[in-house]
A = this chain, B = another copy of it.
């Protein structure tokens, strides 16, 4: 298992900087008052392709040698990673093929197409995604860029916490959502190097609680076909992300579907930013566990803003 290092994170940041936004860190007096914490929101919904995934994908694509890049890149993803890989490949001028579950949100499919990515649809299970991706790789010779089980991707996602940490004096805690675990792994990698006393919490939908179960079982627990409004968080941990989660995460906290949608809508209304349901899970768990965060300086990673506003349950 190839575990990325902090040196990889610094290299990733230098490599991707020309292609990504340095996203703002926003605060809200209202949410601080409501939670009793001082929250610093790192707004990756304002990132290229509307999600932090632009970081990992760009690091993988721009780290390829010319010889390796020539056959393009491929991946499977429920959405944002697919768009991000298409975006990064487009910037480099190489092909991107993405395997997507046929029930992925229409906005996310459209995003892939708008960046020039080729979509192959599959059944909405982890097994179906992986099988079809293997077939694509065999046929095209493309470089597989897994959405999270890839040290280049984790080093790229780690640059998000790096920028957050650079802008803020001291953080008692950082909260990020956990799906497959790429972002939380990168967050652990950065924070354990730069600020080991900062606690890292993973926020997960109760409806897709494989990471929570894994954390308490002491080994990876896989759950297939998980369903949640937080569509980016339905995937399972992999050995690489489990390494970081099991070594560095202080706790994994769960939120219900209603709590996630309430936190999402509250963020839209009070912070004036569009965040997707997956991004609302950290605020949902802070609102639910106020005693844990009261009086603390808390970094929250807002992971993305790709949501069909007119058809989102939170908007009805």
Which of A's residues lie within 8 Å of B, judged by CB?
21, 24, 26-27, 29, 45-46, 48, 50, 265, 268-269, 271-275, 305, 309-310, 315-316
Residue on B with the closest CB to A308? B269
User: Main SS of chain A's interface residues?
Assistant: helix
Is B272 touching A275 in the complex (CB atoms < 8 A)? Answer: yes
* B-side contacts of A50, CB under 8 Å: 272
Partner of A309, one of B21, B46, B268: B268
Other-chain residue from B29, B273, B310, B315 in contact with A272 (beta carbon distance below 8 A): B273
Q: Report the separation of the CA atoms of residues A305 and B29 in the bound assembly, to the nearest whole angstrom.
A: 16
B272–A272 CB distance below 8 A:
no
Output the nearest chain B residue to A107 by Cβ-Cβ distance. Answer: B269
User: Which residues of B lie under 8 Å from residue A26 when comparing CB positions?
Assistant: 24, 46
User: A305 to chain B: which residues have CB within 8 Å?
Assistant: 272
Whole-angstrom distance from the CB of A48 to the nearest CB of chain B? 7
Q: How far is the CA of A302 from the CA of B183 in the complex (A)?
A: 31
User: Which partner residue on chain B sits nearest A306 by CB separation?
Assistant: B272
Q: How far is the CA of A265 from the CA of B21 in the complex (A)?
A: 22
Report the bound CA distance from A272 to B44 in whole Å. 10
CA distance A197 to B268 in the complex (A): 37
A50 to B268, CA, bound (A): 12
Among A24, A275, A316, chain B packs the most CB atoms within 10 A around the CB of: A24
Q: How far is the CA of A21 from the CA of B29 in the complex (A)?
A: 11
Q: Is the CB–CB distance between A48 and B24 below 8 Å? A: no
Task: Determine the distance from Cα of A24 to Cα of B22 in the docked complex, in whole angstroms.
Answer: 11
Contacts of A46 in B (CB 8 A): 24, 26, 271-273
User: In whole angstroms, what is the CA distance A29 to B45 when docked?
Assistant: 14
Closest 10 CB pairs of A and B: A272-B305, A24-B24, A272-B274, A45-B272, A273-B273, A50-B272, A268-B309, A268-B274, A46-B272, A272-B273
Q: How far is the CB of A215 from chain B (nearest CB, A)?
A: 31
Across the two chains, which residue of chain B brings its CB closest to A316?
B310
Residue of B nearest to A87 (CB): B29
| A270 nearest CB neighbor, chain B only | B50
- Give the distance in Å from the alpha carbon of A20 to the alpha carbon of B271 in the complex: 14
Chain B residues whose CB sits within 8 angstroms of the CB of A24 once the complex forms: 24, 26, 46
Additional pairs, 20, CB under 8 Å, beyond known A21-B27, A272-B274? A24-B24, A24-B26, A24-B46, A26-B46, A29-B48, A45-B272, A46-B271, A46-B272, A46-B273, A265-B309, A268-B274, A268-B309, A269-B274, A269-B309, A272-B275, A272-B305, A273-B273, A273-B274, A274-B274, A315-B315
CB neighbours (8 Å) of A45 from chain B are: 272
CA A273 to CA B45, docked complex, whole Å: 9
Residues from chain B with a CB closer than 8 A to the CB of A21 are: 27
Nearest Cβ on chain B to A160's Cβ, whole angstroms: 16
Complex Cα spacing A50 to B316, Å: 23
Question: Which residues of the other chain, B, contact A265 by a CB distance below 8 angstroms?
Answer: 309
What would be 16 A-B contacts, judged by CB atoms less than 8 Å apart? Answer: A21-B27, A26-B46, A29-B48, A46-B271, A46-B272, A46-B273, A50-B272, A269-B274, A269-B309, A272-B274, A273-B273, A274-B274, A309-B315, A310-B315, A310-B316, A315-B315
